[in-house]
């Protein structure tokens, strides 16, 4: 691994190449630097290299980082979210990628209303029905979206998924495609006023495939910061 700046440049170059392969504009894909378990010093290096969007999984860990790095950055919550943490997460994060149940949405709605904020969210979908992963099942998503569309302080911008892991990113492609197709079907239902424009999919191992399949947000940790815990 090189420096953070070198890693970021390499990831961006691969992202651009993937976008161009399918005739997309690289600017239409935002890079979320997933910084769970990464010390704040390394986040500062990423900021110095121009990175502005960071993804965190744990509230306790994110809080001091957000305080230390200050304004001008965008924080995305990408981890499993407990209802009791809704208030703090709404205070700190611009986009929550991991809304997967109505109870959680209602808690976020209440927190956002109290802050007079409209909270942007994504609905997390568990495409393969994996027991170990969060996410609504594909069949549940339309109903969930319909219920959430009644909540005044939440705005659903699209979908997020964490597909099963395969050694070959080509094997993940059908899941990325399935998320895009699910988004297209939901879009046709016109349950919300705004377009469901965001698809959060792809990590270090497979973000290029995700970009080829329409990702607008890729969540990349290891390829930027190195292996966690080493």
Q: In the stretch 197-226, what mask flags binding to ligand PLP with x, by CB under 6 A?
A: ------xxx-------------xxxxx---
- Kindly state the smallest distance separating residue 98's Cβ from ligand PLP, in Å: 7
The span from the CA of 86 to the CA of 90, in Å, is 6
The residues, ordered by sequence, that sit 6+ positions from 196 with a Cβ below 8 Å of its Cβ are: 156, 157, 158, 159, 183, 186, 187
Minimum distance between the CB of residue 168 and ligand PLP, rounded to whole angstroms? 15
Q: How many residues does the chain have?
A: 230
Question: Which member of 24, 36, 87, 155 binds ligand PLP (CB under 6 A)?
Answer: 36
| Structure tokens given for 103 | 């109870």
CA distances from 136 to 51, 179, 197, 202, 204 (A): 30, 12, 19, 18, 23
Q: What is the DSSP letter of 110?
A: H
Q: Measured from the CB atom, is 187 or 222 closer to ligand PLP?
A: 222
Nearer to ligand PLP among residue 79 and residue 214 (C-beta)? 79
Residues of this chain, 68-107, that bind ligand PLP according to CB under 6 A? 78-79
Residues 135-174 as x/- pattern, contact with ligand PLP by CB under 6 A: ---------------------------x------------
């Amino acid at each position: 691994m090189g420096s953070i700046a070198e890693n970021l440049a390499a990831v961006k170059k691969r992202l651009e190449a993937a976008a161009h392969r399918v005739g997309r504009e690289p600017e239409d894909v935002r890079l979320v630097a997933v910084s769970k378990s990464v010390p704040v010093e390394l986040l500062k290096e990423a900021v110095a290299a121009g990175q502005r969007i960071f993804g965190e999984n744990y509230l306790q860990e994110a809080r001091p980082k957000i305080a230390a790095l200050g304004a001008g950055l965008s924080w995305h919550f990408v981890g499993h979210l407990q209802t009791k943490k809704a208030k703090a997460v709404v205070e700190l994060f611009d986009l929550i990628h991991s809304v997967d149940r109505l109870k959680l949405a209602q808690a976020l709605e209440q927190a956002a209303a109290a802050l007079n904020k409209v909270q942007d969210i994504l609905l997390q979908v568990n495409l393969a029905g994996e027991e170990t992963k969060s996410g609504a099942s594909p069949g549940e998503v339309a109903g969930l979206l319909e219920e959430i569309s009644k909540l005044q302080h939440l705005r659903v911008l699209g979908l997020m998924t964490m597909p099963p892991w395969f050694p070959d990113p080509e094997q993940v492609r059908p899941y990325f495609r399935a998320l895009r197709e699910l988004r297209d079907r939901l879009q046709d239902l016109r349950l919300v006023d705004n377009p469901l424009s965001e698809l959060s999919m792809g990590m270090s191992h497979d973000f290029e495939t995700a970009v080829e399949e329409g990702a607008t947000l890729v969540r990349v940790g290891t390829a930027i910061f190195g292996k966690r815990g080493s």
